[in-house]
Chains A and B, each alone.
Chain A
Amino acid sequence: MNIKEILTRKEKDKLFLMGNEAAVRGALEAGVAVASTYPGTPSSEIGNVLYVLAEDAGMYFEFSVNEKVALEVAAAASASGLRSFTFMKHVGLNVASDSLMSVAYTGVRGGMVILTADDPSMFSSQNEQDNRHYARLANIPLLEASSPQEVKDLMKYAYQLSEEFEVPVILRTTTRVSHMRGIVELGALKKPKSKGHFDKDPQRFVPVPESARVMHKNLVEKMDQIGVLSNNSSLNHLFENESSVGIITSGSAFNYVMDVVEEYKLPVNVLKITFSYPFPEKRVLEFLENIEKVLMVEEVDPIMEEEVLAVVGKHQLNKKVHGKLDGTLPRIYEYSPDIVLGGVSKMMGLEMPVTTDSNSVELPKRPPTLCPGCPHRAAYFEVKKAAEDLNLDDLIFPTDIGCYTLGIESPYEIADYLLSMGSSIGTSCGFSKATDQTVVSFIGDSTFFHAGIPPLINAVHNKNNFVLVILDNRTTAMTGGQPHPGLPVDGMGLEAPEISIPAIVKACGVELVEIINPLNVRNSKEIFKKALQFNGVAVVISQYPCMLIKGGSQKGKNIIISVQDDKCTGCETCVLELTCPAIYTNEDGKIRIDPLMCRRCNVCVQTCPEKAIRAKRINNNRGEEE
Chain B
Amino acid sequence: MNPYNIYISGVGGQGIIKTSVIMGEAAMKSDLSVVVGEIHGMSQRGGVVSTQMKIGDSHSPIIEKGKTDLLLAFEPLEALRAVNMINKDSYVVTNTSSIYPFNIRQSEYPYPELSTLLEELSSHAKKVIDLDADGIAKEAGHILAVNMVMLGAAAAVPGFPVDKETIIESMQNNLPEKSISVNLKAFKEGYRVCSSNI
Contact = CB atoms under 8 A, between A and B. Distances in A.
Interface of A: 1-2, 14, 16, 18, 41-42, 44-45, 123-124, 146-147, 175-176, 179-183, 252, 254-256, 258-259, 262-263, 336-338, 341, 355-371, 403, 406, 409-411, 478-480, 572, 575-576, 579-581, 584-585, 596
A363 B102 CA distance: 14
Contact of A176 (B33, B45, B62): B62
B150 interface: no
Contacts of B59: 146-147, 254-256, 258-259
A448 B81 CA distance: 38
Residue picked from B48, B61, B109, most chain A C-beta under 10 Å: B61
B198 interface: no
Contacts of B36: 180-182
A93 B190 CA distance: 46
5 contacts: A183-B34, A359-B84, A366-B46, A367-B102, A576-B106
A16 B28 contact: yes
B40 A337 contact: no
Contact of A182 (B35, B39, B106): B35
A368 B42 contact: yes
Contacts of B66: 355-357
A367 B41 contact: no
> Among A182, A360, A478, A572, which residue has the most Cβ atoms of chain B within 10 A?
A182
Interface of B: 11-12, 20-21, 24-25, 28, 33-48, 57-67, 77-78, 80-81, 83-84, 86-87, 100-112, 116-117, 120, 124, 143, 173-174
Contact of B60 (A41, A252, A366): A252
Given A361-B112, A371-B45, A411 B35 contact: no
B83 A358 contact: yes
A355 B68 CA distance: 12
A346 B63 CA distance: 21
A337 B109 contact: no
A624 B4 CA distance: 46
B87 A364 contact: no
A456 to B, nearest CB: 27
B87 A1 contact: no
Nearest to B121: A359
A406 B45 contact: yes
Given A355-B65, A357-B87, A366 B42 contact: no
Contact of B104 (A258, A364, A406): A364
Contacts of A403: 45
Contacts of A411: 103, 106
Nearest to A252: B60
Contacts of A41: 40-42
Nearest to A181: B36
A14 B28 contact: yes
A573 to B, nearest CB: 12
Contact of B102 (A45, A181, A581, A596): A581
A575 B28 CA distance: 46
Give the 10 A-B CB pairs with smallest separation, nearest first: A368-B47, A255-B60, A124-B41, A41-B41, A355-B66, A124-B42, A255-B59, A368-B45, A181-B36, A364-B107
Contacts of B107: 364-365
A341 B77 CA distance: 29
Given A365-B101, A368-B12, A479 B112 contact: no
B65 A356 contact: yes
A367 B46 CA distance: 7
A369 B109 contact: no
B33 A183 contact: yes
Contact of B86 (A176, A357, A360): A357
Nearest to B110: A364
B112 A363 contact: yes
Contacts of B84: 356-359
A366 B73 CA distance: 15
A619 to B, nearest CB: 21
Contacts of A410: 103, 106
B102 A369 contact: yes
A3 B112 CA distance: 41
A354 B165 CA distance: 39
Contacts of B106: 410-411, 576
B139 to A, nearest CB: 15
Nearest to A182: B35
A124 B58 CA distance: 26
Contacts of B67: 355
Contacts of B34: 16, 181-183
Given A124-B41, A341-B64, A368-B45, 13 more contacts: A123-B39, A176-B60, A180-B61, A182-B34, A254-B59, A255-B60, A259-B62, A359-B80, A361-B116, A366-B101, A369-B46, A410-B103, A579-B103
A252 B37 CA distance: 11
Contacts of A336: 62, 64
B12 to A, nearest CB: 7
Contacts of A362: 108-109
Contact of B21 (A1, A256, A341, A581): A1
Contacts of A147: 35, 59
A596 B106 CA distance: 23
A357 B40 contact: no
Contacts of B105: 572, 575-576, 579, 585
Contacts of B60: 176, 180, 252, 255-256, 258-259, 337
Contacts of B124: 357, 359
